[in-house]
Amino acid sequence: MIPTAATPVPPSPSGRKAFRAGLITACAGLLVGLDTGLISQALGFIGMDFRASTRDQEWIVSVLMLGASVGSLGAGTFSARFGRRTVLTAAMVLMFAGACLCANAMGIPQILTGRLLIGVAIGICTFTAPLYISETMSGHLRGSMVSTFSMLQSAGILAGYLAGGILSSGGHWRWMVSMPMLPAALLFIGCFLLPPSPSWLIARGQDAKARTVLRALRDTPEEADAEFASIKAETGKGRTSGLKLLRQQPNFRRSVMLGICLQVMQQLTGINIVMYYTPKILQNAHFGTSGAAWATVLIGVINTVVGIAAIFLVNRWGRRPLLCASAAIMAVSLAVAAVITGLHLSSIAATLCLLAALLTFVGGFGLGAGPLVWTLCSEIQPLEGRDFGVGCSTLANWWADWIVSNTFLSIVSVIGFGQTFAGFALMNVVFIVFTLMFVPETRDVPLETIETNLLSGKKLRNIGR
């Protein structure tokens, strides 16, 4: 069809504005990943400077997850009351303050306090950013932009690994832990450029402003008005607190439980034992300290490259196929790592195979389980209980992350790397079965359609049809 003078040719200014808002919000993922990469490289130097025991080091890593669980728990309430962008702005302040405390720490208690604050900020980001993106992006952009959040997480991890690799020669861990301060300050400024969430505005009774925002973010006034009417129809059913809705609505309980299970399964893949403890895993396999640091950088490169690829694949292949492929790759990779470490193979070939297995594992995670779990958790919750539902699943993610990261070194000291890796490989097989039984395909499906199917009682795996 040939455009007329009354029909503007895409890409429209509105589309560019929506993309800009999604990209700024997705940059929160950069901060989430940056801390992971930095603490992985800095942990050994902090341990040496403060003579930290194994349990101290586990707590330095895992206290962040406790803070993140608090942040994700409070983010639902505060974002519902004050708005997504306001809460995201506050998270940047906490991130800056926590990094400053760590950089000037005189002992482990101050580091733990700083990382607790960083954890609260990260918990807020992982709750608020995917939720804001899902509410402001149109259906064809939603999956890609939430995947961009995950990809930038991977890029942040890579940046942390690179910085750690460069600074590790001089043991400059204070420089490492201070690095989040600059991006936190920049994103603090960027938050003032974000429009408010249309769904949040309608839920607060600000219909005129919501319509204005939607028209600024959608390609045509007709598209904006149709979406406004759909959101308005859902909110017009009456507002109920998430906890009350959980008690009253069995179908909402199903979506909350699915979100929780997805996030727990994501952590049981074993991703964060690799991301946090790769230098220790490789040193156990006879890598030198410097070699382990730069091999860790290579893992960050793979994580980032695959994360970029996932942005394009998520809307082409769909959620379910990518999740199954992702879990299968991770299961095989960890099985290989289990054999090498369990048999204590120490030849150069075995060591290189272990590194290849870890690289393949990280690539498998970035392909599907990394971005898609966050995408699905923001898609499957009904509007009325979305803050509560996403908050529950995000909280579950951080609790599971804390349990895994707080016990990994202790478990390895008892049963060894081989059996530990074998256990996580089995969990990835369970993830495949779980996906086939319960996870819906939501590619290009409007949130309102998913909600209607869920509340009508359709099986969970069919609510995207």
Side-chain-facing half-sphere of 442: CA atoms under 13 Å? 33
Give the number of residues written for the chain.
465
The predicted model scores a pTM of 0.72
Mean pLDDT is lowest, of 27-36, 197-206, 287-296, 301-310, for 287-296
Taking the C-alpha atoms of residue 463 and residue 108, their distance in angstroms, rounded to an integer, is 48
Please report which confidence band the pLDDT of residue 139 belongs to, taking 50, 70 and 90 as the band edges.
low
Q: Look at residue 272 and tell me whether its pLDDT is greater than 80.
A: yes
Mean pLDDT, range 322-351, rounded to an integer: 92
Phi/psi for 10 (5° steps) reads: -70, 160
* Amino acid at residue number 183: P
| pLDDT score for 427 | 96
Every domain of the chain and the residues it spans: 13-195, 242-464
| pLDDT score for 378 | 81
How do residues 250-265 score in pLDDT, each as one tens digit? 999 999 999 999 999 9
Are 372 and 311 in contact, with CB atoms under 8 Å apart?
A: no
For 242-464, CATH number? Answer: 1.20.1250.20
Are 386 and 329 in contact, with CB atoms under 8 Å apart?
A: no
Mean pLDDT, range 236-250, rounded to an integer: 75
DSSP string covering 116-151: HHHHHHHHHHHHHHHHHHHHHS-HHHHHHHHHHHHH
Q: Which fold has domain 13-195?
A: Growth Hormone; Chain: A; (1.20.1250)
Please, what's the b/e burial string for 164-186 (b: 16 or more CB within 10 A of its CB; e: otherwise)? bbbbbeeebbbbbbbbbbebbee
Please report which confidence band the pLDDT of residue 10 belongs to, taking 50, 70 and 90 as the band edges.
very low
Nearest to 281 by CA among 375, 357, 386, 184: 357
Mean pLDDT, range 204-219, rounded to an integer: 83
Averaging pLDDT over each range in 50-64, 177-191, 272-286, which range is the top one?
177-191
Are 202 and 232 in contact, with CB atoms under 8 Å apart?
A: yes
How do residues 151-201 score in pLDDT, each as one tens digit? 788 788 888 888 877 887 777 889 989 999 999 999 999 999 888 888 888
CA–CA distance from 280 to each of 275, 298, 384, 418 (Å)? 11, 15, 45, 14
Residues 6+ apart with CB under 8 A from 257: none
Nearest to 405 by CA among 207, 270, 248: 270
Range 283-289, long-range pairs (CB < 8 A, 24+ positions): 284/341, 284/417, 285/340, 285/341, 285/346, 285/350, 285/351, 285/354, 285/355, 286/346, 286/351, 287/351, 289/44, 289/168
The runs of H, that is alpha helices, within 218-318 are 221-235, 242-248, 250-268, 271-284, 289-317
Mean pLDDT, range 8-18, rounded to an integer: 58
Nearest to 176 by CA among 92, 60, 87: 60
Q: What is the overall mean pLDDT for the chain?
A: 84
Taking the C-alpha atoms of residue 52 and residue 206, their distance in angstroms, rounded to an integer, is 53
How far from chain centre, in Å, is Cα 131?
Answer: 11
Please report which confidence band the pLDDT of residue 440 belongs to, taking 50, 70 and 90 as the band edges.
very high
Same CATH topology for 13-195 and 242-464: the answer is yes
How do residues 17-41 score in pLDDT, each as one tens digit? 778 888 888 889 888 888 877 887 7
Residues 6+ apart with CB under 8 A from 32: 122, 125, 126, 153, 156
Please report which confidence band the pLDDT of residue 112 belongs to, taking 50, 70 and 90 as the band edges.
very high
